[in-house]
Structure 1
Amino acid sequence: MTEDAGPYPRTNRRARVVKPLDPARLEELALHYVARFATTAKGLERYCRRKLRERGWNDDEPQPDIAALVERFVRSGYVNDEEYARVRQGGLLRRGYGARRIHAALDAAGVAPDDRHEVADGEARQAALRLARKRRFGPFGPDGVPPGDRALREKQIAAMIRAGHPLDSARELVDAADRQSALAWAGMMDEDF
């Protein structure tokens, strides 16, 4: 190796030239995207706009109507915001997130409030219980929260709040006397969990 070659030898490869998009290629990219990823109408629109910025548009063609493309995908059933919201909400609940965090995730995805389902109180409590058990909060810790350890209690409550649970639910769960009372608070039995 010569001194000026640096740590990697040079190759004779040329940079790949990306052709500007045309209507057929934009639709092909959009179709490939919705086939691979669950998305919303707003998510598909963002993707198409990003591809236009990255690759440009063929000057021989009229400017694309991205809104019409997205609407066509919605009518065809390739994109369904209500179904996306249902699946995403269920996944976040199973991971232990609360209603506030779920609404934030759906807002970020561009799901309209009309396409969402409200989180039931029982579902929210079970999600809080899952998070507490997974993170070993309150009675699910090795020794529970010792009565004098205020800093640990506040840290656990803060984590529950960041996960989207209300303050009163976080306090109730972290301060539960034992596992059975925490399960009873969530309306669950040991064999359910």
Structure 2
Amino acid sequence: MPTKPRYKLPTEERLIRSAVHYLERYASSAANLRKVLERKVMKACAEHDRDPSDFAALIDKVVDKCTGSGLVNDRVYAETKTASLRRRGGSRRKIEAQLISKGVDKDVIQSVLEHDSGSDMDAARIFARRRRLGPFRTDGNRQQRRDKDMAAMCRAGFSFDIARRIIDAQDDADG
């Protein structure tokens, strides 16, 4: 007895429903939505022995509809992602890297970061507080852990100067 295919072949209606369902749960850039739909099409095509490139125009059409209707807006996505990462202590470099990985255009990223009111120094202080680095360390062996704390700050995308100023601050109000 043959098993029923798990995935149905994509149609415009199915892809729109999938896109709306995804966008209800997650904020997304146009390029990221395209990747999500391409993965869905790849699974269905693998099951039905079809070529995924046959559905490329259909994916483009669905992404264009979502962009045209305002469901997807790369600038708004970049602004909200930037604000969210800043609140959690994200550096400018980390924000750029995450937005690039989601397919946001570099011009949009630069424009959003130019209008960003947060500074790397404030973000570094938040990051150090969240990770209990430098002056926020509670176990008392600050000097022994200084190099590791500096490395953590630099891996998070902060410059050496900012990392040094935060880690070497006398108390959590300095920096």
Q: TM-score range by the shorter chain?
A: 0.7 to 0.9
Correspondence 1:27 to 2:20: no
Higher-Rg member (1/2): 1
Tell me: CA distance 1:130–1:75, structure 2 relative to 1, closer, same or farther (3 Å). same
Hey, what does 1:167 align to over in structure 2? 160
Hey, what does 2:113 align to over in structure 1? 118
The amino acid that maps onto 1:99 is R
Correspondence 1:51 to 2:40: yes
Out of 124, 128, 142, which is 1:128 matched to? 124
TM normalised by structure 1 equals 0.75
Give the C-alpha shift of residue 15 in structure 1: 6.4
For structure 1, the 5+ residue unaligned runs are 1-13, 183-193
Hey, what does 1:100 align to over in structure 2? 93
TM normalised by structure 2 equals 0.82
Hey, what does 2:149 align to over in structure 1? 156
Number of equivalences: 163
Identical-residue share of aligned pairs (%): 34
Deviations 1:103-127 (A, max 9, x none): 1100111011222212658521111
Give the C-alpha shift of residue 58 in structure 1: 10
Q: Distance in 1 between matches of 2:118 and 2:55?
A: 50
Across the aligned residues of Structure 1 and Structure 2, the Cα RMSD in angstroms comes to 2.4
Deviates more, 1:76-85 or 1:120-129: 120-129
Q: Distance in 2 between matches of 1:17 and 1:37?
A: 24
Q: Distance in 1 between matches of 2:159 and 2:117?
A: 11
Q: Distance in 1 between matches of 2:34 and 2:43?
A: 14
Correspondence 1:137 to 2:121: no
Q: Distance in 2 between matches of 1:37 and 1:179?
A: 35
